[in-house]
Structure 1
Amino acid sequence: MSAEECFRLKESEVRIEHSLNKNEEKFAIRRIKTVQQALQKLGIHCSLDEVPNIALLGSGGGERAMVGLLGSLVQLEKAGFLDLILYLSGVSGSTWCMASLYQEPDWSTKLEAVKDKIIKRLSGPAVSWTDAFAKLKKYYYEKDNFSLTDFWAAMVVTTYVKEIDEHTLTEQWSQQSQDPFPIYTVIDKKCKQEKEADPWLEFTTQEAGYSLIGAFLRASSFGSQIEKGSMVKKQPEIDILFLQALCGSALADGEELVKFIWQKIKDFFKHMFPHIKNILQEKGQDPDSPPADTFQDVVEKLVDMNLYVLDGKDPSALDKSIRTMLIGLAGGKRQLIFQVEKLNLHNKEAAKLYMKRYTMDVCNNLSVWFKLWPFDLCCSILRCATQWIWGREYNFLHNMTAKALPDPLLKSETRDYIDAGLLLNSPYFSVLRKERNVELIISLDFSDGDPFMTVKKAAEMSKEQNIPFPEVIIPPEDPPKDFYVFEGQKVPTVIHIPLFNVVNCGDKTEEWRKKYHTLQGPYSAEMITDLMDVAGKNITNNKENLKKVICAIVEQKKMG
């Protein structure tokens, strides 16, 4: 890189370096002293140079992951292990727990009280529809890029986390000094689908950026419009609720999630239309404007039509009704904008493409007559749903000239960011950055399905990218045990802990899995207490095993 390029990048909003942010670096130096003291309390004595860098990972899994991580952390604290953790990193549902913890200044020093507060909230009343709607309106009007993630944040995530957290990562940093360093993770959708570049994106209290590519910007600037590394248009810093939605933007993959979203949109409109009528009455509707009832009828039938097609049902009666209403709106004065091809329900992909075009056409027709708030919001939600737009933000690398960056990342004005669990349901690659020098990874796995999928996939992906990772050989056990160690020469040691296992669940592992599935609604107080207890047992039953592994790493460091 030329001297001119170096100077330009130093003055830039964007940092392109394979190095730690300076504040993270300083934090790590301070935290290592805390870790050393915690090791001494456990009877493990070593110099600062011999203290291992330990990362704790929480996988995805909706509220199961959120509660499971909380139960695990409570027992880690009781066992004297929490102060050993340098990095706490999460995917999807685990980030919901992290966000709740980091609301509290120095939460790890008063975890019992913080835990009680979180449980009380999770067991309590939901966020009111009015408050959630007001938050959605705020997202819609206060920033340039609107997507399903905004809808998901306000109308779905709030039903699980039972709050609207408008704090920011920058604010979190200003009040934390005694806790592990938090790393939230998502992926770049196009990088995943088209393999344009490494997809892993991380958020810390300092920066957001591509973990393995080495391109970052201040957390407060993420989402702002940046060209050639310079700020063009500042956007509000993303808040924690939006971050929770960005990280946990897919409780499940494939068809079921599509239906889930359309059903949520249907429920939303059911609540919203009486609200629309109140708004119009207060504003005094223009007598020449078409009736809001017509908009409501068209939109409700359009949502039903999408659900029909997803279920393979014939929507022709709905289609006929929609067209009749739109013709009535036009009054014969203008031609309707519609595709001419016919729906083929026997070809699933063709049917999906048809409904995408059909929905866009209906929205474009409606927009001719219903231009103002809140009709514009309804059409935006429908357009995002039919085009499946999640996590769309300005691309902070747009039109940069740094040769170190993959070319496709520089060209698009926006990028779409989604739940990292859709690629790998555990945030291994946030802590496998060489500059973080993590020597022990404790992986708490709250996934559905194969309890070893995350660690096996992490090993495969690491091998592809020449990232040091131990060989993963899974013993033929079903159900799994509660503690697995993978280690090797010049690689981090990985401890893998499946949530439900033969030790903490006995012969009822499958019953526990069925009781806590991912797309389930918010848990009752009893379910929360039971799940925290079973997750906590994975720590209390393995205190000596954890200590043994940590001792071995310290001894290895002493030997050089």
Structure 2
Amino acid sequence: MGQPSSLPTESGLPTFTFHVNPVLSSRLQVELEEKLVVLQSDPSDELEAQTSKLGEMGILLSSLPLSQKEQCLVVLEEVRLGLVSSGDLDLRLGFDLCDGELEFLDKRKQVVAKALQQVIGLSEAPHCDQVPVVAVLGSGGGTRAMTSLYGSLAGLQELGLLDAVTYLSGVSGSTWCISTLYKDPFWSQVTLQGPIEHTLAQVCSSKMGALSTEQLQYYSQELRLRESSGHSVSLVDFWALLIEYFLNREENPAKLSDQQEAVSQGQNPYPIYAGINVHTNISGEDFAEWCEFTPYEVGFPKYGAYVPTELFGSEFFMGRLMQLRPEPRICYLQGMWGSAFAASLDEIFLKTAGSGLNFLEWHRGSVNVTDDCSKFQLQDPTRLRTRLCTPQGPFSQALLDIFTSRFTSAQNFNFTQGLCLHKDYVASREFMAWKDTHPDAFPNELTPMRDCLSLVDGGFAINSPFPLIIQPQRAVDLIVSFDYSLEAPFEVLQMTEKYCLDRGIPFPRIEVGPEDLEDPRECYLFTKAEDPRSPIVLHFPLVNRTFRTHLAPGVERQTAEEKAFGDFDINGPDTPYGMMNFTYEPKEFDRLVALSRYNVLNNVVTVKHAFQLALDRGQARGRVGS
């Protein structure tokens, strides 16, 4: 990637700077019309011998001295080219975990090892190299998901397994629960009863005050302040301030970077919040780029591009910080993470009727492959095929705009703007360029070519943050999936399985029978024993099965009051747990928390078995490593 530069030179020639990732075998291809001279402060004989034989080939950039103190300048005709390491950029390019997360993992392993020793009954704690990586995932579902996740985490805590969890990640409503918990730097070290009671007070109180004159004045003042600081303001930001009121009843000054304190000693699981970047007229299921938000970094695993969390919202170009802007308060992220209303009419129809508006396909443009480039692809596997694009006419475009454009999305400065991070950057599994009509097949359609990010609720793609957790660098052994959907209890697993098949990512087969779809159990275990790279998946649908008749595992309900408390339908026509219901009666809140907690406790044998399988895998890996 290149840009004009004002590098100081003795000759005064114009310069052009290329930012180069040092871990790649990048080459500078040149066609010589004059003698090529390499200038450096202390040229080596080996480099001189190499350059004298270049001819029409190229320079392997990794062979050139690239550091902050020493630059290699290549003079070609009347242009001076400067090579600058990507380490000099203001963002991080690469697919490894950031330093903050790596330091956390070292500390968290000790906590996890002690927890597994106590729960599984080991004579001694496993060695840190043998400690498995466990991730807990919460699906979307608005207030229902937020409330249920409190109960699920309480169940894990009661079993002593919350300290055995490395990652805690969520989509939509689950992020509201997680981000609220992390206001306390030691939340997982104390009982969750306090946070649950606090949330009950917020959920069960009237929301009418959100539209009071005083609050409306506050919203107006905050939005003007946000706009004056350089941020783009949309309906999502107003929604964010409503969420702030629903969750806190007062202004919340917290920022995501503040949560670094909550993981600095490995005392809590590492939080990963999920959003997706979308194109305004393409459904999230057809095109979604997963964006992760952590206390240390915000970035796209697809592109391997990350900015420090404090700099999210600032303006970048070609990896350089152009304009520093204040880090947004976390309520603005909560609004974006849970912006379920940012749907197009086509997506709404898909969610409610089970299929999209098929007639729209007649009005879309067409893409045809005009050659398969088979001869050229043998020589250069990264070469894209030639495609003929036929755009839609003005009437079709207007019709598509009406039915496929989203009402709103969170607009943020694009920190990847100007970077050349297409599929040749590395062999990333995230790119879908092999699909002829997918935007990934067209480099000029990729996010680095756009001015702004359009970030929305991750539930528009997969209603659980699996894509962020299954990255190979995180090496997760066990995924505990809590699905708070009212219908389709295995949809997130099936969509994740397809996502992984498309990208060659190991993932277990999701095989369920008709009886499971009709009347799902409380807990399912999916494994692919023959492939240790495939995560073990422990899946909890939101069902009221034995909780209806049991007060606690093995304890049947006796009194009429006890039976009435458990006898309710989660997804019945009169359910109080609909997506757009933000206020519950205290009994409705208590029973949802109790149900989620019970479903974990009632499956303690399966849960411990899953953790034992993960430990066995970690111990096997440790033996191989030694």
Q: Same fold (TM over 0.5)?
A: yes
Corresponding residue SS for 1:435: helix
Name the structure 2 match of 1:361.
none
TM-score of the superposed pair, with normalisation by structure 1: 0.73
Cα contact 2:344–2:403 (8 A) shared by 1:
no
Residue 88 of structure 1, CA deviation:
0.2
In structure 2, the residue matched to 1:215 is 305
- 1:207 to partner: Cα distance: 0.3
Change (3 A) 1:195 1:415: farther
Matched-pair contact (CA < 8 Å) for 1:198–1:213? no
Please say if residues 244 and 252 of structure 2, whose CA atoms lie closer than 8 Å, have aligned partners that are also in contact. Answer: no
Deviation string for 1:209-258 (max 9, x for gaps)?
Answer: 11233211111111111011111111111221011111101158444999
Equivalent position of 1:172 in the other structure: 259
Q: Does 1:150 align with 2:211?
A: no
Query: Among residues 514, 520, 523, which one is paired with 1:480 in the alignment?
Result: 520
- 1:268-302 Cα shifts (integer Å, max 9, x gaps): xxxxxxxxxxxxxxxxxxxxxxxxxxxxxxxxxxx
Change (3 A) 1:354 1:549: closer
- The 8 Å contact of residues 225 and 234 in structure 1, kept in 2 or not, is answered as yes
* CA deviation string 1:99-156 (max 9, x = no partner): 1101112111123323323333333454544434433333333333122211221245
Would the alpha carbon gap of residues 69 and 355 (structure 1) be closer, same or farther in structure 2, given more than 3 Å must change?
A: closer
Q: Letter of the aligned partner of 2:578 in structure 1?
A: H
Matched, 1:399 2:418: yes
From 463, 468, 472, give the equivalent of 2:506: 468
Q: For 1:502, what is the secondary structure of its paired residue?
A: coil
Q: Which residue of 1 aligns with 2:204?
A: 123
Aligned position for 1:39 = 116
1:275 maps to which residue?
Answer: none
Structure 1 residues 236 and 125: alpha-carbon distance in aligned structure 2, compared to 1, 3 A threshold:
farther
Moved more, 27-36 or 46-55: 46-55
Distance in 2, Cα, partners of 1:354 & 1:541: 48
Q: Is the CA contact 2:101–2:296 (under 8 Å) kept in the aligned structure 1?
A: yes
Question: How far 1:92 moved relative to its partner?
Answer: 0.3
Return the match for 2:227 from 121, 140, 148: 140
CA shift for structure 1 position 433: 1.0
Q: CA RMSD in A?
A: 3.0
Cα pair 2:231 2:313 within 8 Å, conserved: no
1:363 corresponds in structure 2 to: none
> Secondary structure at 1:550's aligned position in 2?
helix
Give CA deviations for 1:404-442 in whole Å, capped at 9, x if unaligned: 177422211112111110010000011111111100000
Distance 1:354 1:255, change over 3 A: closer
Map 1:357-372 → 2, pairs under 5 A: none
User: What is the CA–CA distance in structure 2 between the aligned matches of 1:510 and 1:529, rounded to whole Å?
Assistant: 13
1:290-301 paired onto structure 2 within 5 Å: none
- Residues 180-329 of structure 1 correspond to what in structure 2 (within 5 A)? 180-190=269-279, 193=283, 199-250=289-340, 253-255=343-345
Unaligned runs of 5+ in 2: 1-23, 25-60, 67-81, 350-394, 427-439, 550-566, 622-626
Distance verdict in 2 for CA 1:355–1:423, change over 3 Å: closer
User: Are 1:453 and 2:491 matched, yes or no?
Assistant: yes
Unaligned runs of 5+ residues in structure 1 are 260-346, 357-385
Q: Secondary structure at the match of 2:582?
A: coil
Report what 1:515 is aligned to.
576
Q: Give the alignment partner of residue 58 of structure 1, picking from 129, 138, 147.
A: 138
SS at match of 2:85: helix
Deviation at 1:174, TM superposition (A): 2.7
The question of whether the paired residues in 2 share the 8 Å contact of 1:164 and 1:241 is answered with no
Is the CA contact (8 Å cut-off) linking 1:226 and 1:398 kept in structure 2?
yes
**Which one of 129, 146, 151 corresponds to residue 49 of structure 1?**
129
Partner SS for 1:503: coil
Alignment correspondent of 2:168: 88
Which of 85, 89, 114 in structure 2 is aligned with 1:12? Answer: 89
1:488-507 CA-to-partner distances (Å, cap 9, x unmatched) read: 02210001101124233468
Select between 527-536 and 436-445 the one with higher mean Cα deviation: 527-536
Higher relative CO (Cα under 8 Å, sequence separation at least 6) belongs to 1
Change (3 A) 1:516 1:183: same
Structure 2 residue matching 1:457: 3-state secondary structure: helix
* Pairwise CA distance, 1:522: 2.1
Tell me the CA shift for residue 23 of structure 1: 1.0
Give the SS at the match of 1:392: strand
Contact kept in structure 2, 1:52 and 1:554, CA below 8 Å: yes
Taking every aligned residue pair, what percent have the same amino acid on both sides? Answer: 28
Does residue 504 of structure 1 match 2:532?
A: no
Quote the residue 1:73 is aligned against.
Answer: 153
Cα displacement (A) at 1:18? 1.1
Between the aligned partners of 2:447 and 2:342, the Cα distance in structure 1 is 27
Task: Decide whether aligned partners of structure 1 residues 511 and 394 sit closer, same or farther in structure 2, where only a CA change above 3 A counts.
Answer: closer
Partner secondary structure for residue 254 of structure 2: coil
Deviation string, structure 1 residues 520-549 (Cα, Å, up to 9, x no partner): 132233221121111111111112211111
| Structure 1 counterpart of 2:612 | 551
- Kindly tell me: are residues 230 and 196 of structure 1, through their superposed partners in 2, closer, same or farther at Cα, counting changes over 3 Å? farther
Is 1:61–1:251's contact at 8 Å kept on the other side of the alignment? no
* Structure 1 match to 2:376: none
Secondary structure (helix, strand or coil) at the match of 1:515 reads: coil
Shift of 1:349: 9.3
Contact 1:482 1:504 in 2 (8 A): no
Pick closer, same or farther for the CA change 1:352–1:438 going to 2, 3 Å.
closer
Code of the residue aligned with 1:389 in structure 2: it is T
1:394 aligned partner, one-letter code: F
Contact 2:244–2:251 (Cα < 8 Å) also in 1: no
Q: Distance in 1 between matches of 2:246 and 2:102?
A: 37
CA–CA distance in 1 between the matches of 2:604 and 2:311?
Answer: 41
* CA separation of 1:217 and 1:252: change in aligned 2, threshold 3 A: closer
> Matched residues in 2 for 1:221 and 1:504: separation?
46
Between structures 1 and 2, the one with greater helix share = 1
TM-score (norm 2): 0.66
